[in-house]
Amino acid sequence: MNTALLRYAVEYAACGSAQKTAARLGVNRSSVTRNIKRLEEELGAQLFITTGDGPVPTNFGEICLRYAREILKEEENLRFDFAGDGVYSGSIDIGMGSNRSQQVLPFVLPEFHRRYPNISVQLHEISTADISIGLLSQRLDFAVISQPALSRGIVFEPMMTERLVLVAPREDAFARLYCYQKDGRRYVHLEKFRDRRFILGFPGQKSRAVCDRVFRRVGFEPQVIFQTRNNYTAAMLAYDGLAYALVPESCTRTEQGPIEHYQMDPELEASWAIGIATLRGKSLSHAAEQLKRLMLKALDDRAESKENKES
């Protein structure tokens, strides 16, 4: 059997349509449908049924895809090990939210593509729930996410700690009145902001869930005048005077420099782990493993540099 046929099936299942599969593989649409049909004839079973939401694998299709992904991964590993740096060509699929991609990828991808210029990294900016589905269905190699609820099917490897901070309008006298210094950092008494207006994320986002927990602890319901999924936008709007914002601290770092912000009292538990999630019991391809290691090292170096500046 030609492993190229298996690749058609795997990409077809991942892309959700013949047209998208064709675009990804650089072929025409008829090539996709023809090769899927050829694979079904070789195996003697129908692999997909077509629904209004796209192709759905049959029971035989699920079995085929499970073996196909393993076979293709070993084929990729063989080519990777023999090709050497700068020669190997292939692709890696990773998942993370749009806020996280802005924080992580600029520190990793330039160096990765310097080492492996022919590897295509496919970024899927999707929700944590969809990331879990992508990992379990093996459509993603790995993902960078907030620590998920315990799952038997997913392994989580912490790589950094995120903290919620308050961004106030530029030169805001109220925030300065109710702040205090501790270990060289500025903190605020958040309970004093009961009558102030806030910019927050949408329900369902990890940062919003932490915000809601913090507000419950300080004992008031915030007056939310604006919601956005982009924490960078929230930080900039707050700094420009729209309202106060609670955002992840990493979103206060911009190309123009850091945005002034205030820490939360540690008792409010306004921090959470960020890490790499992979499918339990499934090893990464050699190419994906290299990207994961580089990502862990880059973020570890960044965290160490930040700690040195603060100490």
Flag whether 92 is in a domain: no
Token output for 25: 């593989």
d(CA 240, CA 190) in angstroms, rounded, equals 20
Domain count across the chain: 2
CATH of the domain at 248: 3.40.190.290
d(CA 36, CA 216) in angstroms, rounded, equals 54
Same domain assignment for residues 67 and 165: no
Q: Which 3-state string (H, E, C) describes 219-249?
A: CCCCEEEEECCCHHHHHHHHHCCCCEEEEEH
Predicted model pTM: 0.72
d(CA 217, CA 270) in angstroms, rounded, equals 10
Flag whether 9 is in a domain: yes
Last residue of a domain, one of 23, 50, 80: 80
Flag whether 138 is in a domain: no
pLDDT tens, position by position, for the chain (311 residues)? Answer: 688 899 899 989 988 899 999 998 889 999 999 999 999 999 999 999 988 888 999 999 999 998 998 898 888 878 777 876 667 777 899 999 888 888 888 889 999 999 888 888 989 988 877 888 888 878 899 999 888 765 678 999 888 889 999 999 999 999 999 999 998 899 999 999 999 999 999 998 889 999 999 999 999 999 999 999 999 999 999 999 999 999 999 899 877 778 999 999 989 999 999 889 998 888 888 889 989 999 888 777 766 655 555 55
Q: Which domain holds residue 194?
A: 161-273
Flag whether 88 is in a domain: no
CATH of the domain at 7: 1.10.10.10
Flag whether 27 is in a domain: yes
Flag whether 112 is in a domain: no
Flag whether 23 is in a domain: yes
Last residue of a domain, one of 45, 80, 115: 80
- The count of C-alpha atoms lying within 13 angstroms of the C-alpha of 84, restricted to the half-sphere facing its C-beta, is 0
Flag whether 39 is in a domain: yes
